[in-house]
Amino acid sequence: MYDRLLQHIAARVRLTVRESEECTGYFLHRSVRKRQYLLQEGDVCRQIAFVGDGCLREFTVDHTGTEHTLQFAIAGWWISDLNSFLSGRPSAHNIVAVHDSSVLLLDKEGREKLFAAVPKMERYFRLLLEANHVASHKRINETLSASAEERYLSFLKTYPALIEQVPQHQIASFLGITPQSLSRIRRELIHRHP
């Protein structure tokens, strides 16, 4: 269970065996069944989650009741509402399991202790956040410059693992279009391509 996390860390910083063992103690394992919430709007996000297995989704609900997907997270990804986690204020986001999943949770106190005990983990998180920043900028740039069809094609290329794991209407809500529009885009693509 912790293997995937240690592997993920090892790909970014070099820990000794002792440090690796130290690390895992700060994490709490938890299983999340399909449709179960890890975070509900209105609650404070107390932990950040490393996905060991399965698939989670972070989304908001607007005043009309429509969902908007901020992020998917499959095995080897992190997910949380960092805004609420850092500020301690109630979250406006939801995090829910798309499939049965298992996650490793790290709370604020645990993370600070972890940084103190294994300073290299500070670097690990910095590297994570840098990669995240790059991905966010890419996504923002695409929403500014690309059509819905182009964004869908880019999604297919960037997250091939997701297309089979999440229902189409959730992909639509990630792309910022309605399920109907995505359906039509796909029809059009199939019609034009073999």
Q: Interface with a copy of itself by CB under 8 A: which residues?
A: 60, 62, 66, 68-71, 82-83, 86, 115, 119, 122-123, 125-126, 129-130, 132-134, 136-141, 143-145, 173, 176
What is the residue whose two structure tokens read 């094609």?
Answer: 153
Closest distance of CB 32 from DNA, Å: 17
Q: Which does 34 bind (CB under 5 to 8 A by kind): DNA, a copy of itself, none?
A: none
Contact positions with DNA (CB under 7 A) in 61-90: 64, 66
Which of 36, 40, 141, 168: binder of DNA (CB under 7 A)?
Answer: 168
Binder among 12, 99, 108, 184 for DNA (CB under 7 A): 184
Site for DNA (CB under 7 A): which residue of 147, 156, 158, 189? 147
The contacts of residue 89 (CB under 8 Å, 6+ apart) are 44, 83
Residue 19 backbone phi and psi in degrees, to 5 = -65, -40
Burial class (CB in 10 A: 0-12, 13-18, 19+), 118: buried
The candidate with the shortest Cα–Cα distance to 101, out of 165, 47, 34, is 34
Taking the least distance from each CB to a copy of itself, the nearer of 32 and 172 is: 172
Residue 70: how many CA atoms within 13 Å on its side-chain side? 17
93 or 151: whose CB is closer to DNA? Answer: 151
Minimum CB separation of residue 166 from a copy of itself in Å reads 16
Instruction: Write the CA distances from 123 to 15, 18, 20, 127, 146, integer angstroms.
Output: 11, 18, 14, 6, 34
